[in-house]
């Protein structure tokens, strides 16, 4: 069986001319960005040799909340969360927001 021909239902509808409402597109982008941030947090936490409990202590949140951030489940992303992550992980957090979507979050190794 050739799986390359499989398409998501959403992809099929788009191919048929369906256009998602702007609020759906925005929510999908927010989820994608949260997952991207979660991976960055996980990678940096591991690089620093921190447990979720230790990072939670630095952030003033529980280990379960740290896990939620790492899994991309901390929505909406807030400036407060990004500032706290920057301090706790000793990184500069750059958030690039563009009107067309596909926003980007980047960690620089050391806070400026």
In the chain, how many domains are there?
1
Is residue 111 pLDDT above 50, yes or no? no
Structure token digits, residue 43 = 């990678």
Query: Which CATH number does the domain housing residue 88 bear?
Result: 1.10.260.40
Strands 104-108 and 92-96: antiparallel
- Per the CB < 8 A criterion, the answer to whether 94 and 105 are in contact is yes
pLDDT at residue number 6: 63
Q: Is residue 3 part of a domain?
A: no
pLDDT band at 4 (very low <50, low <70, confident <90, very high): low
Q: Provide the residue range defining the domain that includes 25.
A: 8-108
């Amino acid at each position: 069986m050739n799986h390359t021909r499989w398409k998501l239902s959403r992809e099929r509808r788009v191919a048929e001319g369906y256009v998602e409402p702007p609020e759906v597109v925005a929510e999908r982008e927010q989820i994608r960005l949260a997952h991207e941030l979660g991976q960055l947090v996980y990678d940096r936490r591991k690089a620093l040799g921190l447990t979720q409990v230790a990072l939670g202590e630095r952030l003033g949140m529980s280990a379960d909340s740290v896990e939620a951030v790492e899994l991309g489940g901390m929505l909406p992303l807030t400036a407060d969360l990004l500032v706290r992550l920057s301090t706790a992980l000793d990184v500069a957090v750059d958030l690039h927001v563009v009107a067309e979507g596909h926003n980007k979050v980047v960690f620089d190794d050391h806070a400026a």
